[in-house]
Structures are given as C-alpha cells and as structure tokens.
C-alpha cells in the first residue's frame, strides 16, 4: 500500500551539480571522497567523459499523465527488494532531489567515508534498521535536513518554486544489481546485473527507454556521483 503523502512540501532542488555538491559536502560527504558531475549525453563518447568510477546516477524526468499511469500500473507488480538495497519512501512534496541523494549515498557508504559525527553519518546510522516507511517519517520530522534542503533549494540559478512537474530518481548498484530507486514507487526496481565499472552505461540504457516515451520533452537531466581519485583531485 502506498504511503500517504504528508501536507509538508519543500522547494525542489535544482538539477545542478554545484548545488548538489555543496549540499552533500555540507552534510558530511568529504569533498575528496565524491563529487557530482553533469552527464551531457547518453552515447558512449559522452559517457566516457564522465569521471570514473561512477557510484550513483540521478535522473530528472518530466511527470506526465502517461508516466503517472504507468507508475501506478507497474507498482502492483513490484517485489519487495528493500532488504537488498537502502531504500526510503517519499512523503514530503518536492523532496525527490534530497531523497535521490540519500538513496545514492545510502548505498555507497562502503565506498566512501562520511565525516564522523556529520549529519549524514548520524542519519544513516539512525535509519539503518528502519523500513522504508519509517525512514520517510524520520526525514519528514527532521528539522535539520529541512533547513539544509531549503538552503540548497534556493542556491540554484533559477528561482525556486514548489510548482514543478519533474521528478528525480536514483540508480545505484548493490549486491551486483542495478536498482532504480524512487521514493514514490512501491519499492526498488532491479534492472539486472551491474557493477561500479558499468553502472553509468547500465543506467543510461534504462534512462534512454524513459526518454523515448517522452520524445517531445526537453526536461531531462542526468547527474553522476563519482568517487574522487588522485586524478580528479
């Protein structure tokens, strides 16, 4: 059963790597550990330009009548895979950008070091044993994250408005599988085998199929979260 949305609505995050980097770095992802980058296209040549290894992919797409009908129809067939991957529901309006980032970081805590005692360090330790709905409630009542999100939402290049028709989802690799993580869905969706070396290309294939269903829209954006290496520093 779908979680009931709360009356609480945040301003949406802009699909802007600089905004997301400052947001994540301020909450406990050390700047030398990971960084967000724009993905300028989904063909192999442009994917190769993205710094590797890619640990997670955020995808912004337009919400349409067709996409919403498909989501509702497909949710009934989604298996409960929440024990295999860090996943949380979304009950706060326009929180999809923050939840996408939490999905990303929550599934790479073994790949990057969070600052000890930081917000994210405490958040994931506090929610580790919670189910997806309990994590949603925890976030909904978390004033510190609400303030941090608000600061990030007003730091973008465009004027923030809570009237949006786009949505963020996250693609992450866990236990050798590519997962699509969307807090508005019934649960995580597995898209088959993947690894950190193929995550970006694997996610790009799924993203291309979504884009093909909305050929007239330009409201798409792909952002990769890459692990920092000596070459990137």
* pLDDT tens digits along 135-144: 999 999 998 8
Q: How many CA atoms lie within 13 A of 116 on its CB side?
A: 0
Of 36, 96, 170, 173, the catalytic one is 96
What is the pLDDT of the chain when averaged over all its residues? 90
Report percent pLDDT > 70 for the chain: 91
pLDDT of residue 75: 86
Choice among 20-24, 27-31, 73-77, 212-216 with the minimum mean pLDDT: 212-216
Exposure letters 43-67 (e unless 16+ CB within 10 A, then b):
eeeebeebebbbbbbbbbbbbeeee
Give the domain ranges of the chain: 17-227
| Fold annotation for 17-227 | Ubiquitin C-terminal Hydrolase UCH-l3 (3.40.532)
Q: Is the pLDDT of residue 233 over 80?
A: no
* pLDDT tens digits along 161-202: 555 689 999 999 999 999 999 999 999 999 999 999 999 999
**Residue 73: pLDDT band with limits 50, 70, 90:** confident
Cβ–Cβ under 8 Å, residues 24 and 30:
no
Q: CA of 128: how far to CAs of 59, 120, 138, 211, 218, in Å?
A: 24, 12, 12, 33, 37
Of 36, 103, 149, 167, the catalytic one is 167
Cβ–Cβ under 8 Å, residues 179 and 173:
yes
pLDDT of residue 82: 82
**173 belongs to the catalytic site:** no
81 is written with which tokens? 């895979």
Enter the pTM of the model.
0.91
Beta strands in 47-188 (DSSP E): 54-62, 166-174, 177-181
Terminal C-alpha separation, the chain? 45
**170 belongs to the catalytic site:** no
* pLDDT tens digits along 25-64: 999 999 999 999 999 999 999 999 999 999 999 999 998 8
Q: Is the pLDDT of residue 157 over 80?
A: no
């Amino acid at each position: 059963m779908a979680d009931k949305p709360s009356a609480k609505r945040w301003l949406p995050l802009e699909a802007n790597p600089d905004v997301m980097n400052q947001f994540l770095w301020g909450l406990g992802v050390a700047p030398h550990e990971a960084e967000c980058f724009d993905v300028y296209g989904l063909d192999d040549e442009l994917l190769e330009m993205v710094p590797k290894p890619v640990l997670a992919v955020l995808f912004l797409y337009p919400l349409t009548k067709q996409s919403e009908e498909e989501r509702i129809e497909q949710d009934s067939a989604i298996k409960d895979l929440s024990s295999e991957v860090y996943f949380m529901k979304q009950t706060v309006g326009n929180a999809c950008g923050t939840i996408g980032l939490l999905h990303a970081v929550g599934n790479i805590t073994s790949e990057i070091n969070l600052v000890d005692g930081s917000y994210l360090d405490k958040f994931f330790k506090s929610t580790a044993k919670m189910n997806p709905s309990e994590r949603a409630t925890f976030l909904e009542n978390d004033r510190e994250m609400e303030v941090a999100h608000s600061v990030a939402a007003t730091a973008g290049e465009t004027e923030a408005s809570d009237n949006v028709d786009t949505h963020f989802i996250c693609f992450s690799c866990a236990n050798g599988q590519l997962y699509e993580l969307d807090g508005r869905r019934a649960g995580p969706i597995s898209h088959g085998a993947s690894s950190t070396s193929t995550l970006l290309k694997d996610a790009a294939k799924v993203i291309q199929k979504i884009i093909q269903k909305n050929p007239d829209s330009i409201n798409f954006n792909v952002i990769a979260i890459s692990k920092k290496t000596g070459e990137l520093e």
